[in-house]
Amino acid sequence: MIVVFDFDGTIVDSKRLAYAAFLSTLKKYRISAVGEKEWLKLYEDNFFEVIAKKGFKGRKLFALFAEVKKEYGKHLFNLRFFPGMKSLLKQFVPHIITSNLSGIVNEFFQKRGIMCVVSGKDKGKSKTKKLLAIKRLHSLDRIIFVGDTIGDIVEGKAAKVITVGVTWGWHGNRIRIAKPDYIVRNAEQLKRVLLSTTNIY
């Protein structure tokens, strides 16, 4: 069984840090601040596509993203796992897809003794394409993708994978809007879902 996890908001509690890094970057570039609700709406589809529609393209997008990740990276290693997620990850050898840089996230897990395969922004901006690549790599028709935002589920469905929405992340119970195949409220429920789907492979 191949299980793919989103990183921010699914595995680690990073919403405050990510939002603060975003605001800090906007201030540096003298761009009007964005409220938290509006910021979270950026993740209702592919983040890069949504923000490009707001005028951040090419070098401007690259510069903005690089600065946000620089601010974010200063505190990444202080992030905490959501309850039960660290032990759950150790039961699998998961794939992690994230809009962060692969090397930084991989180092985060290595320092905590967790083996995983990380595919970050440096390996593509589309989670759908990353999921399809994982399917091709393992010659599987279906895999499981666990995410916390509406955008995660939208991209998972586009890749035709089994989607699991967690309610403890950035979009909370609003994740239901995307109609994931499963909705879980804690790591124990997630574990049961993952184990119950083993026999489909």
Mind listing the pLDDT tens digit for each residue in 173-196? 999 999 999 999 999 999 999 999
Query: Is the domain of 28 the same as that of 71?
Result: yes
Q: Are residues 150 and 67 in the same domain?
A: no
Range of the domain at 64: 15-76
69 lies in the same domain as 95: no
Identify whether residues 100 and 72 lie together within a single domain: no
pLDDT tens-place string over residues 41-58? 989 988 878 877 776 666
Q: Are 169 and 9 in contact (CB under 8 A)?
A: yes
Residue that is last in its domain, among 76, 98, 116: 76
> Are residues 87 and 66 part of one domain?
no
Q: Global pTM?
A: 0.89
5's tokens: 């996890």
Quote the CA–CA distance of 109 and 143 in Å, as a whole number.
22
pLDDT at 166 over 80: yes
Residues 128 and 152 in one domain: yes
Span 110-127, pLDDT tens digits: 999 999 999 988 888 899
Residues in contact with 170: Cβ distance below 8 Å, sequence separation at least 6, in sequence order = 8, 9, 15, 40, 43, 148, 149
- Cα 171 to chain centroid distance, Å, stands at 12
- Number of folded domains in the chain? 2
Using a 10 angstrom Cβ sphere, with 0-12 exposed, 13-18 middle and 19 or more buried, the burial of residue 200 is exposed
What pLDDT is recorded for position 71?
A: 82
**CB atoms inside a 10 Å sphere around CB 35:** 10
As a whole number of angstroms, the longest Cα–Cα distance in the chain is 53
pLDDT level of residue 200 (50, 70, 90 thresholds): very low
Tell me the chain's radius of gyration from C-alpha atoms. 16
Question: Which residue among 58, 76, 94 closes a domain?
Answer: 76
User: 3-state class of 12 per DSSP?
Assistant: strand
